[in-house]
Amino acid sequence: MNTHAFIKFCPTCKLGIDVYAIVCRHCGATLDLTPLGGAEQSNDLAGRLPKPTAGLALYPVGTSSPIVISEDKELILGRETGEGSEKIVDLSKLDGFAMGVSRRHAMIRAAENGYKIIDLNSSNGSWLNGQILVPAIVNDMPSGSSVQLGQLKLVAIYNSVPGIGK
**Same domain assignment for residues 63 and 145:** yes
Q: What is the mean pLDDT of residues 59-87?
A: 88
The answer, yes or no, to whether residue 1 has pLDDT greater than 50, is: no
Q: What is the mean pLDDT of residues 93-105?
A: 94
Q: Over the stretch 40-57, which tens digit does the pLDDT of each residue have?
A: 544 555 667 888 888 999
- For residue 52, being part of any structural domain is answered with yes
Q: What is the pLDDT of residue 166?
A: 46
**Same domain assignment for residues 8 and 73:** no
Q: What is the mean pLDDT of residues 111-115?
A: 93
The answer, yes or no, to whether residue 73 has pLDDT greater than 80, is: yes
CATH of the domain at 79: 2.60.200.20
- For residue 137, being part of any structural domain is answered with yes
Q: Over the stretch 34-44, which tens digit does the pLDDT of each residue have?
A: 544 554 544 55
Predicted confidence band of residue 131 (pLDDT cuts 50, 70, 90): very high
**Same domain assignment for residues 9 and 56:** no
- For residue 134, being part of any structural domain is answered with yes
**Same domain assignment for residues 113 and 45:** yes
CA-CA distance, 9 to 53, in Å (whole number)? 46
**Same domain assignment for residues 137 and 72:** yes
Nearest to 149 by CA among 115, 124, 131: 124
CA-CA distance, 127 to 7, in Å (whole number)? 22
CA-CA distance, 39 to 59, in Å (whole number)? 14
Q: What is the pLDDT of residue 46?
A: 64
Q: Over the stretch 10-26, which tens digit does the pLDDT of each residue have?
A: 777 778 877 767 677 78
Range of the domain at 115: 34-158
Domain count, the chain: 2
Q: What is the pLDDT of residue 11?
A: 73
Q: What is the pLDDT of residue 121?
A: 96
**Same domain assignment for residues 56 and 2:** no
* Cβ–Cβ < 8 Å for 52, 158: yes
**Same domain assignment for residues 68 and 99:** yes
**Same domain assignment for residues 16 and 42:** no
- For residue 165, being part of any structural domain is answered with no
The DSSP letter of residue 101 is -
The answer, yes or no, to whether residue 151 has pLDDT greater than 50, is: yes
- For residue 122, being part of any structural domain is answered with yes
**Same domain assignment for residues 105 and 25:** no
* Cβ–Cβ < 8 Å for 146, 44: no
- Give the total residue count for the chain: 166
Task: State which H helix or E strand residue 8 sits in.
Answer: strand 8-9
**Same domain assignment for residues 16 and 88:** no
The whole model's pTM is what? 0.72
Helix (H, G, I), strand (E, B) or coil at 93: helix
CA-CA distance, 48 to 27, in Å (whole number)? 44
